[in-house]
A and B are shown apart, each in its own frame.
Chain A
Amino acid sequence: DTAVSQTPKYLVTQMGNDKSIKCEQNLGHDTMYWYKQDSKKFLKIMFSYNNKELIINETVPNRFSPKSPDKAHLNLHINSLELGDSAVYFCASSQDPNIQYFGAGTRLSVL
């Protein structure tokens, strides 16, 4: 069983479109995160939720809106996609912030 699963694995779309990435964890963790990895492999935190409550909201454009329907799910919706949004997006979860489990990533390509 995959601990942190995100879908889709690949997402290719046109500029201006709206898309969503879903994430689910079956580890029973209270905290979930979204990270963005750029073309140089640099990983940066975007958001974190603890028990459905927003904890971290980095300087991310408000076109990005996370939603946590329950503590096992954290989805990321992106409006009006731009070329610069192309990246790999990783979901992660933790019970202890010293030990974070990452999903396999969603590679987003905006054309």
Chain B
Amino acid sequence: TQLLEQSPQFLSIQEGENLTVYCNSSSVFSSLQWYRQEPGEGPVLLVTVVTGGEVKKLKRLTFQFGDARKDSSLHITAAQPGDTGLYLCAGLLSSNTGKLIFGQGTTLQVKP
């Protein structure tokens, strides 16, 4: 069974703090995708990292793909209440099938 372990599952922080979410696996992925999901909505893609060691930035969010393409992290700098939501990592096992394996998700609450 391919697993993608995401941690922490829950995170409650004050506005202005930094945080990091991790996704780890023993499987090698073609790519790693990060999604954000609001209540009552579907996941929305934030970023896809493809190359081992790749770092991508999206404003205050920094995404990194591990050198071996087995793990990834999402770092948020100076979190704001608008960052509150469910963050999901998903590893693409095969680009031929498009099969995504999701992590368990991280519920982030940023308090003003």
Residues of A within 8 A of B (CB): 4, 31, 33, 40-45, 48, 50, 55-56, 90, 92, 94, 97-105
Residues of B within 8 A of A (CB): 30-31, 33, 35, 37, 40-45, 48, 50, 86, 88, 90, 92, 95, 97-102, 104-105, 107
Contacts of B40 in A (CB 8 A): 104-105
A32 (CB) vs chain B CBs: closest residue? B98
Rounded to whole angstroms, the CA-CA distance of A40 and B48 in the bound complex is: 24
Rounded to whole angstroms, the CA-CA distance of A101 and B43 in the bound complex is: 8
**Best-surrounded residue of B33, B90, B101, B102 (most CB of chain A within 10 A):** B102
Contacts of A50 in B (CB 8 A): 98
Which 4 pairs show the lowest CB-CB distances between chains A and B? Answer: A102-B42, A97-B98, A43-B102, A98-B48
Rounded to whole angstroms, the CA-CA distance of A101 and B23 in the bound complex is: 21
Are A100 and B88 in contact, CB atoms less than 8 angstroms apart? Answer: no
Contacts of A55 in B (CB 8 A): 97-98
Rounded to whole angstroms, the CA-CA distance of A33 and B99 in the bound complex is: 9
When the two chains form the complex, which single residue of B35, B42, B95, B107 contacts A97, counting CB atoms closer than 8 Å?
B95
Known contacts A33-B98, A97-B30; 15 additional CB pairs below 8 A are A31-B98, A41-B88, A41-B107, A42-B102, A45-B100, A45-B101, A97-B95, A98-B30, A98-B50, A100-B45, A101-B45, A104-B40, A104-B41, A104-B42, A105-B42
When the two chains form the complex, which single residue of A41, A43, A100 contacts B98, counting CB atoms closer than 8 Å?
A100
Contacts of B41 in A (CB 8 A): 104-105
Could you tell me the distance in whole angstroms from the C-beta of A96 to the nearest C-beta in chain B? 8
Are A42 and B92 in contact, CB atoms less than 8 angstroms apart? Answer: no
Could you tell me the distance in whole angstroms from the C-beta of B41 to the nearest C-beta in chain A? 5
When the two chains form the complex, which single residue of A44, A97, A98 contacts B102, counting CB atoms closer than 8 Å?
A44
Contacts of A98 in B (CB 8 A): 30-31, 33, 48, 50, 92, 95
